[in-house]
């Protein structure tokens, strides 16, 4: 079973979804109309139920983050991704608040310095943005690159963390 809730944030509505193992999706407002199809890609046989109480901890931690009170999340995650993508996202998840790495640096830390495009693809497929801070990964030369929520949201998150 997948429980979900929708919460407001400074960057718009966010849909959070979790299984018994942990949080598995944060979906930006512009994708919420397609949320069931997005979740079913990774969890095709799960029943999806609205349950605000099941995600109180996750919602509260996000609110603390947006208010500047939280710099690290303490949330169990349930990633359903290929092994290299999981490795990349585990590295991204360790980038400290207020810091950033390039796609090249992430690929190197994942064990393949020539896999910066694959590192970018893993970030693009990140189902748990903000918590797994893919906004902290930049293109070479400090360029923003892309972001699933849009560049405006990426800029907002970086500015929130003090990255100009």
Residues labelled as active-site residues? 134
Torsion of CA 109, 114, 118, 119, to 10 degrees: 30
**Ordered strands of the 2-7 beta sheet:** 23-28, 14-18, 2-7, 48-50
Q: How far is CA 78 from the centre of its chain?
A: 12
Q: How far is CA 128 from CA 108, 114, 136, 140, 141, in A?
A: 22, 25, 13, 23, 26
Q: Which residue in 84, 74, 130, 73 sits closest to 106, CA to CA?
A: 84
DSSP string of 61-101, one letter each residue = HHHHHHTTS-SS----B---S-HHHHHHHHHHTTSPTT--E
Q: How far is CA 84 from CA 48, 80, 93, 113, 147, in A?
A: 27, 12, 14, 13, 20
């Amino acid at each position: 079973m997948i429980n979900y809730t929708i919460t407001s944030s400074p960057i718009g509505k966010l849909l959070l979804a979790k299984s018994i193992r942990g949080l598995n999706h944060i979906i930006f407002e512009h994708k919420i109309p397609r949320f069931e199809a997005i979740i079913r890609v990774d969890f095709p046989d799960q029943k999806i139920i609205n349950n605000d109480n099941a995600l109180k901890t996750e919602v509260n931690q996000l609110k603390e983050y947006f208010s500047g009170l939280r710099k690290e999340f303490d949330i169990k995650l349930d990633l359903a991704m290929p092994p290299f993508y999981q490795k990349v996202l585990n590295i991204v998840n360790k980038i400290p608040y207020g810091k950033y790495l390039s796609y090249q640096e992430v690929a190197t830390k994942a064990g393949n310095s020539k896999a910066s495009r694959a590192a970018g693809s893993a970030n693009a497929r990140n189902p748990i943005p903000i918590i797994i801070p893919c906004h902290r990964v930049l293109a070479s030369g400090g360029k923003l690159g892309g972001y699933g929520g849009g560049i405006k949201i990426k800029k907002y998150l970086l500015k929130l963390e003090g990255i100009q």
